[in-house]
A and B are shown apart, each in its own frame.
Chain A
């Protein structure tokens, strides 16, 4: 007998409908799965057989064919265990056909018949909703994320036996109420008040947060670069509902369960490969830059990252998206993150310290600094060097401002930017185009004079010009000023001059 159950597959962040068909016919006992299954889908045969047996159903010793349509698209993962089991039961006449084609079934089976969570439920449910589907049976682990999709009736499934009973009309299952997404500030984010001293670095962090600028921190080991980066999410305004969904979608694909409500903070190790950072692998999964979407990507020991990793950051830093192309598929993932990079001032780390001597030769320093290419530095708006903190200051009582106070200023500055850019509410100063800069970042005559003098005196590059204007715009926004004033510009210039980065023999 023939039967069919509806399920969904995932390519990148977009889902596609998959029809699971099962046929049981006479002949020598056999079990075939067709429709480009990967190893996990092929192995579903054993899981399904055991789960059915342990739920009180036996597969007949006949010829069984399971087909996953469309037959020309590769199917991956364990998500089809549940629809396959149901289709087989239907083919034996144990349950009716109708409910199987009116809902979407997702889930992996344990041998005892329990239903386990799978990856990528949220993007599949979103795509299915757009395709007009309404009823979803998903593992309980994934139910919360699925239920935040508007108009989706999500039934959490605990085990096969319960689901079969429900489908046979015995009731016992209720759809979840729609999950309310409550955006929050990162729980594990550090508070700014914990950071002693470092007034100028904190100020740079505030400006970076307000304008969405990328930030490069330099400083001796132990000066608090990592601490400052960890505290960054705490001064960013919370995400809105749509942003939470977007971020959860990406994290769901790589196996995160539940909703992501706080801005992501990712800090991959400097040994990470280009694939780990940008995304890829045989099934083109999102990488760290996409997982940091709408949050902070912290790259500690910046010059120690492989050259190809650093260079691969250039395009997403510019575009905010990354297209991962593999032979079998090509996926586009959002990657609009705030880059916080940290580096030592020299290979030994003591340059600029007043307590320890630097032992690096100028050539070694030059090589170290040169690892970060000009085009990449060009995409980083703010450079700041941390102070070498004396011990007594680390333990000192002096309380700095709390993250909440800074966050209010950041939110106000972002609000001002939103009003300026109008409809496109996600735009920030960092993403201004040259044309928009001429409109929004006009410099008065005294300001242009300052620029000229600064470029001569401080040996700034011509590239720095646009960056300085953008940062000055953000500083003016923080100050609530309509136009860029001289003091805003002069402060912005300071964030462009990092003595340790000056190129010389």
Chain B
């Protein structure tokens, strides 16, 4: 699986880590890496002027007898796959960026040509609105045949992956890119989601195993997220958010950027609204807004139409009350002539048929992403 050339790249990556410049400089100096290996083995470090002392030390350390064998055996044992930049199945889109990761560690299956990879990113501190949008877009993108790329963080990234995984028959629905070693699950408590993505999609990182999730890792991780994707959808972003950084990286890499608009009073929509205002991102209200940019046909489920007259009188009263905005059950009691037991079971009935949804605080709203009311 890991041939001699991969092995040498892995060796160089071990020494240079995520410093792509150093990696590229060594590659430029040595067209054939085995010459570099021979030099290091012989202790001749003269040509490695681009490396600092520490880099040279690591290079020599990793060239010692048996070190690489142990390293590769360990990766094998932990079922960690390796992809180097020279490998033929290295993701083609990622290869185009100016600083592609030299080595990718991954679990699961990685397609070199992912189907319409779209990154869905956003703040970790998302609102219920962001959560719902992320889940719905994650799901609908996959239904339309796209692959959802995200960062396996809490908040928007996680919900997008959850939405993507909820499409049961989809193949490789989602890819998660980590800001830490492949064997580190961050944030804690995400183990289930990590396992689910590794099983049905792919979890990848360029960081060496056991790397801790340091703050400086995440911008590096973000360039991979946008690099893997044709477009980046920002669902919610605060004023100075990592998601906005990803959006700008995507613009530098020549990728499309999309943003979900939010209320002007929402702190978690400042970033997305700013992207839209500056013309950096396209305003998106439905999945087809994204797909049309890539000429992909959107065949997935549009909101189902429900005729108001097909509902029972009480249901009609409820739906009409909700047309003017969300209401809690006390407010619905005031607007409908019924008793509380009847109101509650009618609300359940409407939720089960996907016409309304229940929000925190005993608040109900029309589920406009699933159904549209026609009068």
Contact = CB atoms under 8 A, between A and B. Distances in A.
A497 B124 contact: no
Interface stretch (B54-62, B271-279, B288-296, B355-363): B355-363
B162 A203 contact: no
A361 B340 contact: no
B341 A363 contact: no
Contacts of A363: 124, 154, 187, 189
A375 to B, nearest CB: 18
A270 interface: no
A388 B352 contact: no
B195 to A, nearest CB: 12
A487 B347 CA distance: 11
Given A363-B187, A363-B189, A387-B330, A499 B358 contact: yes
Given A387-B328, A387-B361, A203 B351 contact: no
B88 interface: no
Contacts of B154: 361-363, 366, 505
B194 to A, nearest CB: 10
A362 B359 contact: no
Given A351-B360, A387-B328, A393-B330, A490 B125 contact: no
Interface in B151-165: 154-155, 158-159, 161-162
A400 B69 CA distance: 77
Interface stretch (A44-52, A63-71, A181-189, A193-201): A193-201
Interface stretch (A116-124, A303-311, A453-461): A453-461
A200 B190 contact: no
A353 interface: yes
Contacts of A386: 362
B348 interface: yes
B9 to A, nearest CB: 34
B223 interface: no
Contact of B359 (A197, A203, A352, A450): A352
B126 interface: yes
A358 B360 CA distance: 11
Contact of A362 (B125, B349, B351): B125
Interface string A321-362: 000000000000000000000000100000111100110111
A367 to B, nearest CB: 8
Nearest to A198: B330
B358 A497 contact: yes
Contacts, number: 120
B335 to A, nearest CB: 13
A98 B352 CA distance: 78
Contacts of A357: 267
Interface string A446-480: 00001001100110000000000000000100010
A345 B360 contact: yes
Contact of A203 (B340, B347, B361): B340
Q: Which of B131, B161, B352, B359 counts the most chain A CB atoms within 10 A?
A: B352
Contacts of A454: 348, 352
Residue among A197, A219, A457, A505 having the largest count of chain B Cβ atoms under 10 Å = A505
B99 interface: no
User: What size tier do the contact residues of chain A reach?
Assistant: 35 or more
A493 interface: yes
A352 B341 contact: no
Given A366-B189, A457-B354, A490-B348, A505 B159 contact: yes
Interface in B173-190: 187, 189-190
A352 B363 contact: yes
Interface in A155-205: 197-200, 202-203
Interface in A228-284: none
A447 to B, nearest CB: 12
Nearest to A204: B344
B78 interface: no
A419 B360 CA distance: 39
Contacts of A487: 341-342, 345
A505 B190 contact: yes
A127 interface: no
A381 interface: no
Contact of A505 (B127, B128, B193, B359): B193
A387 B159 contact: no
Contacts of B170: none
A388 B125 CA distance: 22
A398 to B, nearest CB: 9
Nearest to B130: A362
A504 interface: yes
B340 A450 contact: no
B238 to A, nearest CB: 11
Contacts of A504: 158-159, 162
Contacts of A202: 340
B329 interface: yes
Nearest to B341: A491
A220 interface: yes
A102 interface: no
Given A200-B330, A358-B127, A458-B351, 10 more contacts: A220-B361, A351-B360, A360-B125, A362-B131, A363-B189, A388-B361, A487-B345, A494-B345, A504-B162, A505-B192
Question: Nearest 10 A-B pairs (CB), nearest first?
Answer: A352-B361, A352-B360, A505-B158, A490-B345, A491-B345, A361-B125, A490-B348, A387-B328, A197-B330, A385-B362
Interface of B: 124-128, 131, 154-155, 158-159, 161-162, 187, 189-190, 192-193, 267, 326, 328-330, 333, 340-349, 351-354, 358-363
10 contacts: A198-B330, A199-B333, A352-B361, A354-B361, A385-B361, A388-B328, A479-B341, A490-B352, A494-B348, A504-B159
